[in-house]
């Protein structure tokens, strides 16, 4: 007698799977066509997004060009996830930024085309977004932040020309599908976002309210080394020898104070000629600090509540590509209708 086949009712399957982490849902899609259709349905993805906490993942493109996947690190379960990503033919994409499940790429193979490419790596949906013609893409700085509770997002773009008098800044809103110029008074040395907050040499600027959240000269510090925490505190991460140091910046005095240093047992060994590289650092939703080495993509975490450091080695050895790392959420969001589908 053959083995009896048991199928979950749709309602039970949905209630079980929706409680799983996002990486398990991705794996469950390959069980059978019924599961795939169920788990790829828009109503299920929207329901999952409404329940999902705003977990932040560290996403790397070190392996994208050579191996065809993004390396993704789960900052809660401390596990690695491989997300295959099919790139359009004859392209050389590099990661720029991301927020709320969307990633932003630039095609280095066609850098003068005045387009950026957006992707949701979970749904494998690609979109193409034209840039203002006045922008020089070779000097482009761009950051993204998502609008909570929706699939809309905003992009802040700065033409990083060497001439301060010619600096240009624009903000893209997916709700309107338009680029709008922004005030030039604050965009010099723009560096970091936390949602709608931008940090530059003159302090912290709220882009939604178009007003200063905090004023203070920080021009004595290299802005790209600074990171903004949710409460508005500013931190700097520095590699000194083989150890990571974390400083907090006083916005009034522009002085910094050493907060912590990674232990001697957790040495950061950089290849010859790479000792001057600056590690990337990010805060997660619990205000833990994550540090990523730009050449050997190992990950380090500092927990302020316990004062403890941890390290997590890269799962995949022999990376052929130099790359970039960001910290953002993953989601099942579909792109808004006003955006333009990517032409294959």
Residue 10 has pLDDT above 80, yes or no: no
pLDDT tens digits, 265-298: 888 777 666 666 778 888 887 888 999 877 666 7
Residue 135 has pLDDT above 60, yes or no: yes
Query: Token pair 């401390």 is at which residue?
Result: 78
**42-54: average pLDDT:** 63
Which residues face 98 on adjacent strands? 103
* Alpha-helical runs (H) found in 160-246: none
261: confidence class by pLDDT, cuts 50, 70, 90: very high
Distance CA(282)–CA(199), nearest Å, equals 14
83: confidence class by pLDDT, cuts 50, 70, 90: confident
Q: What is the DSSP string of 257-286?
A: EEEEE--TTS---PPTT-TTPPPEEEE-TT
| C-alpha to C-alpha distances, 305 to 125, 232, 289, nearest whole angstrom | 38, 18, 11
CATH class label, 53-341: mainly beta
Task: Tell me where in the chain the CATH 2.120.10 domain(s) lie.
Answer: 53-341
Question: What is the pLDDT of the chain when averaged over all its residues?
Answer: 75
Q: Dihedral angle at the C-alpha atoms of 141, 89, 175, 121, nearest 10 degrees?
A: -90
342: confidence class by pLDDT, cuts 50, 70, 90: very low
Q: 73 vs 148, which has greater pLDDT?
A: 73
């Amino acid at each position: 007698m053959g083995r009896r086949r048991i199928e979950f009712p749709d309602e039970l399957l949905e209630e079980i799977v929706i409680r799983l982490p996002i990486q398990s849902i991705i794996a469950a899609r390959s069980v059978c066509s019924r599961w795939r259709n169920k788990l790829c349905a828009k109503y299920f993805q929207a329901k999952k997004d409404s329940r999902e906490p705003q977990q932040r993942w560290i996403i790397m493109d070190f392996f994208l060009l050579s191996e065809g996947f993004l390396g993704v690190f789960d900052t809660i379960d401390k596990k690695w996830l491989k997300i295959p990503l099919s790139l359009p033919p004859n392209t050389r994409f590099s990661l720029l930024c991301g927020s709320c499940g969307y990633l932003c790429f630039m095609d280095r193979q066609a850098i003068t085309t005045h387009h950026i490419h957006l992707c949701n790596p979970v749904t494998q949906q690609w979109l193409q977004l034209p840039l203002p013609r006045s922008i020089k893409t070779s000097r482009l700085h761009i950051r993204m932040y998502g609008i909570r509770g929706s699939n809309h997002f905003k992009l802040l773009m700065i033409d990083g020309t060497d001439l301060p008098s010619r600096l240009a800044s624009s903000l893209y809103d997916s709700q309107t599908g338009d680029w709008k110029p922004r005030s030039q008074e604050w965009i010099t040395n723009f560096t970091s976002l936390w949602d709608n907050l931008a940090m530059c040499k003159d302090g912290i600027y709220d882009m939604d309210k178009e007003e200063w959240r905090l004023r203070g000269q920080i021009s004595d510090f290299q802005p790209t080394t600074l990171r903004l925490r949710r409460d508005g505190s500013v931190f700097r991460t520095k590699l000194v020898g083989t150890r990571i140091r974390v400083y907090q910046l006083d916005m009034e005095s522009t002085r910094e104070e050493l907060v912590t240093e990674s232990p001697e047992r957790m040495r950061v060994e950089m290849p010859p000629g790479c000792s001057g590289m600056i590690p990337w650092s990010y805060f997660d939703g619990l205000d833990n600090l994550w540090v990523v080495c730009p050449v050997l993509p190992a990950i380090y975490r500092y927990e302020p509540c316990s004062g403890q450091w941890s390290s997590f080695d890269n799962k995949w050895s022999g990376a052929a590509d130099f790359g970039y790392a960001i910290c953002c959420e993953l989601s099942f969001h579909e792109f808004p209708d006003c955006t333009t589908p990517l032409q294959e």
